[in-house]
């Protein structure tokens, strides 16, 4: 028996987000030959995004294109998706475990009376026998979950599945389907404008390399050496809650139990003691490098590599050496 999977595709600044390609890979991992994997794009002026997405192995792309969907509004997005879901009747819905995905997935699951699993980091098996792995208790343990019946709603943690490769042939015009959308007459909320504070060139949750600072950076200016190192490495800058609470940086950079959960290839912790709340947000990083002048700092217990020293001496030296190596 064939199944239908639907990817809710996210985009930002005119580009398909990396986590969408990872969610597509997750769906492909558990699919069988003959299964249909489709995607849906919501927003305004979606033609260029549809063109980008059409280069990947999908059966079809559904466009819900309306100016009222330009900015994410959970009430409007759910209202736009439900008629499409009623028509397609997908067996499973995949999206990223992002701010949008964490908000939208439970609402869709409630509407469909579907089972939901959030923050999935790996998969085993395929079809209805698929097993989903999740980290729990701030990454101290892992659990395996299995759905008892369709439909499913699944969010996947960024940077845990490889992004799917483009297909050899793109979709035809008749495989890109425009879906009619009529805004409800009485939305409880209306998003007029989104003002985004610039926090770096690279999205923190999707960054392969993160240079993160804690209270040890001592001031807002203390983040400048970290920003320089991140720029050289093509990475992003993060922070502990302590640094954010001290006013050294914006809370949009916060990593930890009450901030963002990240899983980069390399995580460089500068002046971070290693409180359990911070470890909850980064302990699944592939390689952890800790720089701290306190040799007893808890961060060294989880670090793959440790440097005991003053970050204001160590970080500029690292930046200088990486700059030479990467020329």
**Residue 255 marked in a binding site:** yes
Domain boundary among 130, 161, 178: 178
pLDDT value at residue 201: 66
Considering the domain architecture, whether residues 173 and 229 belong to the same structural domain is answered as no
**Residue 299 marked in a binding site:** no
**Residue 275 marked in a binding site:** yes
**Residue 272 marked in a binding site:** yes
Half-sphere exposure at residue 213, Cβ-oriented, CA atoms within 13 angstroms? 32
pTM: 0.89
Could you list the pLDDT tens digit for every one of the 327 residues in the chain?
899 999 999 999 999 999 999 999 999 999 998 999 999 999 999 999 999 999 999 999 999 999 999 999 999 999 999 999 999 999 999 999 999 999 999 999 999 999 999 999 999 998 899 999 998 887 778 999 999 999 999 999 999 999 999 987 778 888 999 999 988 878 888 888 887 765 556 789 899 999 999 999 999 999 999 999 999 999 999 999 999 999 999 999 999 998 999 999 999 999 999 999 999 999 999 999 999 999 999 999 999 999 999 999 999 999 999 999 997
Residue 107 maps to which CATH number? 3.40.50.620
Considering the domain architecture, whether residues 214 and 136 belong to the same structural domain is answered as no
pLDDT value at residue 12: 92
Considering the domain architecture, whether residues 81 and 139 belong to the same structural domain is answered as yes
**Residue 52 marked in a binding site:** no
**Residue 273 marked in a binding site:** yes
**Residue 241 marked in a binding site:** yes
Considering its fold, how many domains does the chain have in total?
2
Residue 246 lies in a domain: yes
pLDDT value at residue 198: 52
Half-sphere exposure at residue 75, Cβ-oriented, CA atoms within 13 angstroms? 10
Spatial neighbors of 102 by CB under 8 A, at least 6 apart, are 118, 155
Q: Which of 290, 285, 324 is nearest to 216 (CA)?
A: 290
Residue 304 lies in a domain: yes
**Residue 257 marked in a binding site:** yes
pLDDT value at residue 185: 78
Considering the domain architecture, whether residues 164 and 231 belong to the same structural domain is answered as no
Considering the domain architecture, whether residues 172 and 287 belong to the same structural domain is answered as no
**What's the domain range around 269?**
204-325
Considering the domain architecture, whether residues 149 and 234 belong to the same structural domain is answered as no
pLDDT value at residue 192: 83
pLDDT value at residue 188: 81
Considering the domain architecture, whether residues 79 and 144 belong to the same structural domain is answered as yes
Q: Which of 104, 95, 103 is nearest to 22 (CA)?
A: 95
**Residue 254 marked in a binding site:** yes
**Residue 274 marked in a binding site:** yes
**Residue 256 marked in a binding site:** yes
Residue 192 lies in a domain: no
Residue 319 maps to which CATH number? 3.40.50.1220
**Residue 116 marked in a binding site:** no
**Residue 258 marked in a binding site:** yes
């Amino acid at each position: 028996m064939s199944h239908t999977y639907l990817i809710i595709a996210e985009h930002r600044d005119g580009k398909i987000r990396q986590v969408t390609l990872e969610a597509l890979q997750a769906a492909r991992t558990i699919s069988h030959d003959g299964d249909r994997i489709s995607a849906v794009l919501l927003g305004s002026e979606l033609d260029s995004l549809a063109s980008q997405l059409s280069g990947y192995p999908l059966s079809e792309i559904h466009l819900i294109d309306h100016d009222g969907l330009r900015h994410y509004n959970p009430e409007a997005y759910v209202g736009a998706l439900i008629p499409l879901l009623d028509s397609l009747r997908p067996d499973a819905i995949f999206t990223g475990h992002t701010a949008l995905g964490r908000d939208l997935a439970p609402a869709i699951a409630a509407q469909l009376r579907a089972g939901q699993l959030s923050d999935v980091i790996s998969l085993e098996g395929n079809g209805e026998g698929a097993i989903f792995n999740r980290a729990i208790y701030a990454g101290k343990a892992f659990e395996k979950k299995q759905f008892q019946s369709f439909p499913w709603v699944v969010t996947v943690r960024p940077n845990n599945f490889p992004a799917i490769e483009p297909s050899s042939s793109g979709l035809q015009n008749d495989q890109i389907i425009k879906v009619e959308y009529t805004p409800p007459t009485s939305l409880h909320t209306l998003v007029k404008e989104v003002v985004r504070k610039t926090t770096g060139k690279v999205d923190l949750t999707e960054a392969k390399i993160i240079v993160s600072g804690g209270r040890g950076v001592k001031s807002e200016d203390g983040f400048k050496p970290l920003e320089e190192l991140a720029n050289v490495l093509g990475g992003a800058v993060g922070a502990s809650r302590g640094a954010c609470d001290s006013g050294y940086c914006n809370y949009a950079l916060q990593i930890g139990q009450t901030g963002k959960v990240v899983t980069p290839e390399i995580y460089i912790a500068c002046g971070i003691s290693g409180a359990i709340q911070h470890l909850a947000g980064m302990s699944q990083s592939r390689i952890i490098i800790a720089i701290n002048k306190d040799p007893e700092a808890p961060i060294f217990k989880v670090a793959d590599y440790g440097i005991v020293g003053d970050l204001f001496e160590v970080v500029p030296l690292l930046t200088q050496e990486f700059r030479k190596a990467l020329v």
